[in-house]
Amino acid sequence: MAQQRTFSIIKPDATRRNLTGAINAKIEASGLRIIAQKRIHMTEDQAGSFYAVHKERPFYGELVEFMTSGPVVVQVLEGEDAVAAYRGVMGATNPADADEGTIRKEFAESIEANSVHGSDSLENAEIEIKHFFTEDEIVG
């Protein structure tokens, strides 16, 4: 497997509980490197377009409200097979289904307030990274 980059968000439920460092520790313990990071407050437009694939789902409005309810930390992670590796570190969408030791098992509050986002494909990772970072902000 090759070196890849993936996109991560530490969500508002986690920043509110001061868990940025604890989540970063899990990311780094897995061998992934945080090669870009910034704390932002997403606008409704940003959150709405980021989750546009879920526009028809019943939870879309609440999801946008949640993602704009406080600061988030957007990140670029780099490492071996990073897209799948980070999905593994995150755990299942619903923390009730997440494996022991994963970020969501340990920290998520609910299926919505589940502490982190990670890209679901290499193609989406590239799109999402470009959306939030310029090349000179990414230092590998």
Read off the amino acid at residue 133: F
Question: Hey, what are 56's tokens?
Answer: 């028809």
Residue 78, binding choice from Mg ion, ligand ATP, none, Cβ under 5 to 8 Å by partner class: none
Q: Which partner, Mg ion, ligand ATP, none, binds residue 114 by CB below 5 to 8 Å per kind?
A: ligand ATP
Q: Residue numbers of the site for ligand ATP (CB under 6 A)?
A: 54, 59, 63, 93, 111-112, 114, 117-118, 120
Which of 26/117 has CB closer to Mg ion?
A: 117
How far, in Å, CA of 100 to CA of 94, rounded?
Answer: 13
Coil, helix or strand at residue 120: coil
Distance CA 42, CA 50 (A): 10
Choices 19-27, 29-37, 82-90, 115-123 (CB under 5 A): range interacting with Mg ion: 115-123
**Residue 122: which of Mg ion, ligand ATP, none does it interact with, CB under 5 to 8 A by kind?**
none
As given in the structure block, the two tokens for residue 79 are 């490492």
Pairing between β-strand 116-118 and β-strand 72-80 as defined by DSSP bridges = unpaired
Identity of the residue, 59 or 123, whose beta carbon is nearer to ligand ATP in the bound complex: 59
**Residue 98 gets which letter from DSSP?**
P
Note if 117 is an active site residue. yes
Closest chain position to Mg ion (CB): 120
Residues with catalytic function: 117
